[in-house]
Amino acid sequence: MRADWWTLGAGWIWTLLRAGTLVASEPGAINQLTPEEQQEGYELLFDGQDLDYWIIMGNPEGWKVQDGVIRSEGGKGGNWLRLRWLYSDFILRLQWKVSPGGNSGVFIRCFEAGDPWVTGHEVQISNEQPPRDDLHCTGSLYGTVAAHPRPDESPNVWHEFEIRAIGKRITVLCDGTPCVDADMEAVEAIRNKPLRGFIGLQDSHTGEGGVIEYRNLRIKDLSPSSPDNFPPPGFRALFNGRDLTGWKGLVADPPTRARMSPEELARAQEAADQRMREHWKVEDGVLVFDGHGDNLCTAQDYGDFELWVDWKIELHGDSGIYLRGSPQVQIWDHPVGSGGLYNNQRNPSQPRVVADRPVGRWNTFRIRMQGEKVTVHLNDVLVVDNVTMENYWERDRPIYPTGPIELQSHGSRLYFKNIYLRELQGAG
């Protein structure tokens, strides 16, 4: 989303924050959070200008932003549009308008592959004639849970959904009236459906001439979280949330370190550790870098491993994760997105898709390194798939078999937490 200030006549001053929060100064604003929603922790999913947070899962010509709304026209094969990241528990609010005879829907907790109304749930939108039954009408969980009472399905007017998915309970309000209150355990057809997945918008699921429009999309993430810096089973915490135990300052690069005598290395390490303590601090369980100084390195070397890292950057932030002392799994505020193997020249260097959360929000890497191959998930989205990581320091050699994990310094303030590692014994 674009970071701009807009003045729209007397009494209207809106502020767009890069953190994904667009705040309205007056009630009734379009594609804005109200002050109450901002205070309650809602986030804006569409700013009325672009689809930065969304991925088109069909023909790009089937979707466009027009006059501050997301618009899909029938017969163009738009299929569906999904958010870049996954949610489990949430409250989703949005407005929609459908043309006469139109059909569409909102997908929740669905998978990237397969039909989203099958892998997850579809909250139906319909003005089909004759009207569909209660199991397939507006507000129903399409084909599985009927809408009761049946909501207004009038075309060419704006309607509003509030969809709550909390654990195994799903509720739907249409224009403020409850029409679905479903316990997944009590409905065999949805009992085993996933509790986490993508949120998506269906295209105009009718022929040429049909139209669906969406606006005012905002969400409150209620996904349960574990205590910070406590590793999941099988992993150990590289950062204890209290101090820099287990970490050391950076001394040069691997080839240079290899040429040092033990005495030279010890002296250099002492100086590097002093620089580390000046610029890397622990604040409220978060590892914080002040934008100056050098990389932070694990005191131990690792070979094959699975690494989980939560990270956050500010506007124009830049960093990365060095694997075995070599750069890097990229972190930055850039349209290409994070997670790519930035320094690769012969092998892919960019992520498959953009999966970054808005600047100022926490992101999660899951990085798996076996031999020369690296796989990266960013916010549960596969962005690097079993790609060879090249040796930046010695281009004519393969990546080193072991080395430290490093958090890269690149002149901007950085935040890390929940750094967990599981060694892969016998992997090759």
Give the number of other CB atoms < 10 A from CB of residue 411.
13
Contact 62, 50 (CB under 8 A): no
Whether 216 and 312 share a structural domain: no
Tell me 402's DSSP state: S
Show which of 192, 221, 250 is a domain's final residue.
221
Whether 190 and 272 share a structural domain: no
Q: Please check whether residue 213 lies inside any domain of the structure.
A: yes
Q: Please check whether residue 31 lies inside any domain of the structure.
A: no
DSSP string covering 167-191:
TTEEEEEETTEEEEEEEGGG-GGGT
Q: Please check whether residue 40 lies inside any domain of the structure.
A: no
Q: Please check whether residue 110 lies inside any domain of the structure.
A: yes
Contact 107, 190 (CB under 8 A): no
Sign of the Cα pseudo-torsion (38, 161, 31, 54, in order): positive
**Angle made by CA atoms 63, 362, 26, in degrees to the nearest 5:** 60
DSSP string covering 105-169:
EEEEEE-SSS-HHHHSEEEEEE--SSPPPTTTSTTSBTTTB--SSPPP--TTS-EEEEEEEETTE
Rounded Cα gap, residues 160 and 94, in angstroms? 6
Phi-psi category of 371—alpha, beta or left, where left has phi over 0 and alpha has psi -120 to 50?
A: left
> In total, how many domains does the chain have?
2
Buried b (16+ CB within 10 A) or exposed e, 161-185: bebbbeeeebebbbbeeebbebebe
Q: Please check whether residue 283 lies inside any domain of the structure.
A: yes
Whether 213 and 255 share a structural domain: no
Per-residue pLDDT tens listing for the chain (428 residues): 433 322 233 232 223 333 444 444 344 679 999 999 999 999 999 999 999 899 999 999 999 999 999 999 999 999 999 998 889 999 999 999 999 999 999 999 999 889 999 999 999 999 999 999 999 999 999 999 999 999 999 999 999 999 999 999 999 999 999 999 999 999 999 999 999 999 999 999 888 889 999 999 999 999 887 789 999 889 999 999 999 999 999 999 999 999 999 999 999 999 999 999 999 999 999 999 999 999 999 999 999 999 999 999 999 999 999 999 999 999 999 999 999 999 999 999 999 999 999 899 999 999 999 999 999 999 988 999 999 999 999 999 999 999 999 999 999 999 999 999 999 986 44
Whether 240 and 272 share a structural domain: yes
Whether 171 and 302 share a structural domain: no
Q: Residue 107's closest CA among 34, 198, 18?
A: 198
Range of the domain at 318: 236-423
Rounded Cα gap, residues 269 and 267, in angstroms? 5
Give the number of other CB atoms < 10 A from CB of residue 262.
7
Whether 194 and 304 share a structural domain: no
Whether 397 and 344 share a structural domain: yes
Q: Please check whether residue 120 lies inside any domain of the structure.
A: yes
Q: At 152, which CATH number?
A: 2.60.120.560
Whether 217 and 247 share a structural domain: no
**Angle made by CA atoms 195, 199, 202, in degrees to the nearest 5:** 130
Q: Please check whether residue 262 lies inside any domain of the structure.
A: yes
Q: Residue 368's closest CA among 389, 352, 347?
A: 389
Rounded Cα gap, residues 198 and 108, in angstroms? 6
Q: Residue 145's closest CA among 110, 191, 81, 109?
A: 191
Show which of 189, 221, 253 is a domain's final residue.
221
Show which of 173, 197, 221 is a domain's final residue.
221
Whether the link from the prior residue into 149 is cis, omega within 30° of 0, is yes
The distance in angstroms from the start CA to the end CA of the chain is: 42
Whether 169 and 299 share a structural domain: no
Whether 416 and 328 share a structural domain: yes
Whether 203 and 331 share a structural domain: no
Whether 261 and 217 share a structural domain: no
Q: Please check whether residue 13 lies inside any domain of the structure.
A: no
